[in-house]
Amino acid sequence: MACTSDSWLYCLAILLLMAIVESAEQPHLSNENGVKTSVFLSPKFVLEPGSVSNKYYYDLDFPRGHIALKDFNAEVVDEAGNPIPLQETYLHHWIVLRYYQQKGVEIHGNAWFNQSDHVVIVRNSGVCDNDNLQYFGLGSETRRTATHIPDPYGIEIGNPVEIPHGYEEKWMLNVHAIDTRGVRDRLGCTECRCDLYNVTVDEYGRALPPDYDGGFRCCYDETKCRVKEGFYGVKRSLYLRYTVKYIDWDASIVPVKIYILDVTDIWTMSDESKGVRSQHYCLVEYKVESCDIGVANDGCTHTKSLSVSLPTSGDVIYGVAHQHTAGMGSTLYGQDGRVICSSNPIYGEGNEAGNEAGYIVGMSTCYPVPGSVKLSDGEILTLVSNYSSARRHTGVMGLFYLLVADSSTKPDIALHAPAPVHVEMKIFIPGLGVVLFGITIILILNFAFRFRSGKKRDYKAISP
């Protein structure tokens, strides 16, 4: 675009429009139920064959204000917005964490928060003490796992009365991705086998235990999994594109609490006589040894289970498990043996993103009719996580994510009579509002300019 003295006002208008588009809050549109949808891109991460990115992004773009979250989903895309299949970039996990940060302080570096960061992590409602504190998080199953929260429920955030004075609510994203183009052993790289990463110390330089031969402590940020001799693949920039659906908060929304159970949880019960409170130390990952050679392969199932109680009673609104490759399903049982939720992996069968053969591309979810699956106070739940042990696996996981509505808060049925559970917006035009706003400004400036110069404009002046 050539800016001549004749066309300066036009140029100004265009530059103004560009500035507005650049700086505008991410696009959102509301559907008829008032559900707003925002689509954001994470900061970019750069990967080449074999490399690992495990970065922490603070002060993430996120909807602001007192709202109820209705859905959070994501996928890895390249610079052109194309979805990247798991065979190329394995999405080990992403995690979204809520926190309050003291105003005026900054967080530096690629690390978890620490005391000096003036940060209060707003953890979910339980139960691990040391980990799994996130609000949202999934892995390879991201593309085909339902994550919406049905009406009248929602995750309440941004309530100004809950945010401590002098602090603001923020969000952190951690994305752990592994570029497996051209690697020697694709499964081994995704299971973070230490020999493939040629790693004997963890990310802080501490020696790994001799029996630790695979798991996230061997595939930290900037490590590299072994690539086939002579393989070449370009370095590329990728993003986590995440979609948040939400509604403005109002009194008819029933808040749900987030619980994440972990089958590796080491639960020590409280002992009031000794003044010891109950503790949950979660290891997050575990190992599946291969079954005896003698045993027929089809009988090889590794079962790990945990008994645990939640610090709440209430209605289960949503449930989903998280497992890695070779996962065969996970079930949460009540104390009386009833099934609270069963969640099973969906394995891909093709090559395209969302259907990658051999990978868990989705997990089935539970949406019990509200009120039909209740947890009672102090009830002991049993979590079972099954894996195929036809071969050995390292760094596997068995999480169970639950949304629970406190039964003392009754949904206001009258206000939500036959509302459709979830309306997907089929057509999404990014930034439509912004573009219309910009066009309006151009028209106004154009009009003003004509009025001022009093001569006919040559429209060729703004040809690109």
Ligand X SMILES: *[C@@H]1O[C@H](CO)[C@@H](O)[C@H](O)[C@H]1NC(C)=O
CA dihedral 116, 120, 125, 127 (to 10 degrees): 10
- Which of 5, 32, 104, 116 binds ligand X (CB under 6 A)? It is 116
Of the candidate spans 30-38, 107-115, 135-143, 258-266, the one that interacts with ligand X by CB under 6 A turns out to be: 107-115
Between 310 and 384, whose beta carbon lies closer to ligand X?
Answer: 384
Part of the chain binding ligand X (CB under 6 A), chosen from 109-117, 138-146, 169-177, 362-370: 109-117
**ω into residue 284 within 30 of 0, thus cis?**
no
Quick one: 198 or 297, whose CB is closer to ligand X? Answer: 198
Residue 434: both structure tokens together: 């912004």
Q: Which stretch binds ligand X (CB under 6 A): 38-46, 161-169, 325-333, 440-448?
A: 325-333
Contact by Cβ (8 Å): 216, 208: no
197 contacts 183 by C-beta, under 8 angstroms: no
Contact flag: residue 334 with ligand X (CB under 6 A): no
Closest approach, Cβ 385 to ligand X, in A, equals 8
Q: Does 109 bind ligand X (CB under 6 A)?
A: yes
The yes or no reply on residue 331 touching ligand X (CB under 6 A) is yes
Question: Which CB sits closer to ligand X, 32 or 229?
Answer: 229
Of 301 and 309, the one with the shorter C-beta distance to ligand X is: 301
* For ligand X, the closer CB: 114 or 408: 114
Report how many residues bind ligand X under the rule CB under 6 A: 16
Residue 118 beta carbon to ligand X: minimum distance, rounded to whole angstroms: 9
Cβ proximity to ligand X: between 238 and 381 the closer is 381
Q: Name the residue whose CB lies closest to ligand X.
A: 111
Cβ distance to ligand X smaller for residue 86 or 95: 95
- Identify which of residues 247 and 300 has a Cβ nearer to ligand X in the complex: 300
- The only residue of 233, 329, 370, 433 in contact with ligand X, by rule CB under 6 A: 329
205: alpha, beta or left? (left if phi > 0; alpha if psi -120 to 50): left
Stretch that binds ligand X, among 111-119, 149-157, 211-219, 439-447 (CB under 6 A): 111-119
- Per CB under 6 A, the segment of 227-235, 329-337, 364-372, 421-429 that binds ligand X is 329-337
Instruction: Please answer whether residues 74 and 94 qualify as being in contact, where contact means their C-beta atoms are separated by less than 8 angstroms.
Output: yes
Indicate the burial class of 74 (C-beta count within 10 angstroms; 0-12, 13-18, 19 or more): buried
By beta-carbon proximity to ligand X, the closer residue of 148 and 302 is 302
What is the distance between the alpha carbons of residues 351 and 209, in angstroms, rounded to a whole number?
Answer: 37
Which residues neighbour 451 within 8 Å (Cβ) at sequence distance 6 or greater? none
Q: Which of residues 185-214 bind ligand X (CB under 6 A)?
A: 198
The closest alpha carbon to 133, from 110, 112, 151, 118, belongs to 112
With CB under 6 A as the contact rule, which of the stretches 114-122, 274-282, 395-403, 408-416 interacts with ligand X? 114-122
Give the interface segment with ligand X, choosing from 106-114, 160-168, 277-285, 307-315 (CB under 6 A).
Answer: 106-114
- Per-position x/- string for 285-324, each x denoting binding to ligand X as judged by CB under 6 A, each - no binding: ----------------x-x---------------------
CB of 203 to ligand X, least distance (A): 10
Nearer to ligand X, 56 or 72 (CB): 56
Q: How far is residue 346's CA from residue 363's CA, in Å, rounded to a whole number?
A: 6
**Residue 384 in contact with ligand X, rule: CB under 6 A:** yes
Least distance from C-beta 226 to ligand X, angstroms?
7
Smallest separation, CB 298 to ligand X (Å): 11
Task: Name the site residues for ligand X (rule: CB under 6 A).
Answer: 108-109, 111, 114, 116-117, 198, 301, 303, 328-331, 342, 384, 386
